[in-house]
Structure 1
């Protein structure tokens, strides 16, 4: 395939689904990001019983995946949310089986939604669902097992998969708004046969929260796996900024491991991605360490340490806080930080943001630690 040919995205589609194909085409319209190609597998009813579960057997999906492989697609996605009630481990096994059968990387809608939550640091999620109450409660438990507390808006109570697409878009929008009421970090529309994709961008403006539509999330992750993750405006925050947030998160997680620190964060002023330094753009934590991702109590640009970074534009390495510049008392008293490394991230001559590496005990930072910090700066600068 020519290097100038857009990636081909293979989508395994529930047979009774009439939403995800037109929604996916609409999301890709006017871009050269990728082309989408679909194969159907029999799915008509969503319930918690053996007949319903049997629809999601691997056999038909692998047969359809092999047909998509004939088209030399670059990624294959199960564009269905069954993993949200059958469990993400089932989806992980499915993606492994698809890749073993075809040699092509794979994902699913549920895994994409979980990756979106990780990229945005979501631990409280509003759910907008069309399913019957028992299926919805199973979904709540599934996400809780993944560390995500859910607030469930009243579901539509439907079990006929084809009928999901007949729910008016205005009713879907109203349900999303109800799901956003109780201090959640984001709302997810968990179904790929519900018209939520076109609701995301306008609702995000009104609610001040990300809206993760399942069709959009699947496309987002498929683009990422295919090596094409452009920032597409006007299609919701996930399509615009989710790829950047994911790269930041991966970098911070790697930096945490490389340094053996307790917390790593990145703060940035990037208005085009709705990021401001007073809320972290990403955070990685060792188990049991308190998160500060959403704490906006400090005026970050006015901190002594940050002003020092702005003046010197080099890394600040602090094995303790006995010498200037002193960090804010809250960092020590509330968050327990006893040592840190900070590094500025510059774009176009301006200090766009900075990486922080926190230790809850005093420690000498080694050359290996500072080299890992420098490498993380490079990776984030490249992502920006």
Structure 2
């Protein structure tokens, strides 16, 4: 069984019971263990900032390491206003001190956004307006355009847990307008239950900080989380993150401008008309959320379905022709497609796009074959329990 060590703000009364609830039904998978560090107030001043100094965190981390935990997480969102580098340095220091992999709530939220390709993020926070605006600035530096719901205006950390869950739900709904996802940024707010319930209504992921921290800790410890009943991140986030990694590595290896993966995997909320992942070169337009085409009826996809081998197109002068929108709207001039065949079904395919005509070398085709193998491995690891 995996042991998760969590550094907890001393005045937090939410994250421990919520974490236990999230792990209920997966007790053979992992156990959670907590050490507290003094945190009572959230503000933009030296006194508040001092609560998040490294040494108290490291002292608590050393205590957790005595329990031989497999991962240590700072279960607090202070990096969201102190700066992401603060948390990166903290995680590195914890690992250097204890030899245990480490993460934080802020790093987990950013990793969740990366896994789902989020660039427009709604924020639901309990803090004062100046702290909330600092979070917007911090996340903007990480490539996230944030829409901020009206903050609750609270600075007493213990009081965050007294905010009714119904109020948190309304704040999430307010933050969701025109967003790819919503993040509840605070680990002492009861957002996990509301987040999981609202995903279906809103049609977008909702990343609660407590849930995201547990997800990333499990993933970092190698637990392959695929837990039902608590929202998409715990069910499918690690699978999606794996897809992103495969596509990013493929794009670099093959020299493509864009790589995408499309899959029919209903148990993970995936269907081929929207991509399961996408990696982009600098300045290349995203195709991730364009659902304007019936993908299964495209000439190129029907060709893949018939032949079940890679389709190599150094140009588009020969059949099968791709959709004209791919050329006119997205500027694609060459592509390499490879099917993902599970048992007897073509579950999906990987696409590599070039904005200029080009030959696809044997090395590039080998990289595509390796990427397909990696997708199969991910589906075997994470996807079987939820396949159709």
TM class by shorter chain equals: over 0.9
Q: Which residue of 2 aligns with 1:380?
A: 375
The CA deviation at 1:348 is: 2.5
Q: Which blocks of at least 5 consecutive residues in structure 1 are unaligned? A: 1-5
Q: Which residue of 2 aligns with 1:194?
A: 189
1:279 to 271, 274, 277: 274
Q: Distance in 2 between matches of 1:285 and 1:34?
A: 35
Q: Distance in 2 between matches of 1:33 and 1:187?
A: 28
Question: Following superposition of structure 1 onto structure 2, how do residues 252-267 of structure 1 map, counting pairs within 5 Å?
Answer: 252-267=247-262
1:339 aligns with 2:331: no
Question: Following superposition of structure 1 onto structure 2, how do residues 300-339 of structure 1 map, counting pairs within 5 Å?
Answer: 300-339=295-334
Aligned length: 378
Q: CA RMSD in A?
A: 0.7
Q: Which residue of 2 aligns with 1:352?
A: 347
Q: Distance in 2 between matches of 1:147 and 1:202?
A: 27
Contact 1:120–1:245 (CA<8 Å) still a contact in 2? yes
Contact 2:333–2:355 (CA<8 Å) still a contact in 1? yes
Q: Distance in 1 between matches of 2:344 and 2:59?
A: 53
1:125 aligns with 2:121: yes
2:227 aligned counterpart, secondary structure: coil
**Per-residue CA distance 1:318-341 (angstroms, 9 max, x = gap):** 111111111111111111111110
1:245 aligned counterpart, secondary structure: helix
TM-score by length of 2: 0.97
Q: Which blocks of at least 5 consecutive residues in structure 2 are unaligned? A: 380-388
Q: Which residue of 2 aligns with 1:104?
A: 100
Contact 1:220–1:229 (CA<8 Å) still a contact in 2? no
Contact 1:337–1:360 (CA<8 Å) still a contact in 2? yes
Q: Distance in 2 between matches of 1:353 and 1:87?
A: 39
The CA deviation at 1:276 is: 1.2
1:175 aligns with 2:171: yes
TM-score by length of 1: 0.98
Q: Distance in 1 between matches of 2:294 and 2:219?
A: 34
Q: Which residue of 2 aligns with 1:53?
A: 49
The CA deviation at 1:230 is: 2.3
**Per-residue CA distance 1:192-219 (angstroms, 9 max, x = gap):** 0000111122111111111100000000
Regions of 4+ moved over 6 Å: none
Q: Distance in 1 between matches of 2:133 and 2:6?
A: 27
The CA deviation at 1:381 is: 1.2
Q: Which residue of 2 aligns with 1:3?
A: none
1:224 aligns with 2:219: yes
Q: Which residue of 2 aligns with 1:204?
A: 199
Q: Distance in 1 between matches of 2:195 and 2:2?
A: 25
Q: Which residue of 2 aligns with 1:67?
A: 63
Contact 2:34–2:64 (CA<8 Å) still a contact in 1? yes
Contact 2:215–2:225 (CA<8 Å) still a contact in 1? no
1:158 aligns with 2:115: no
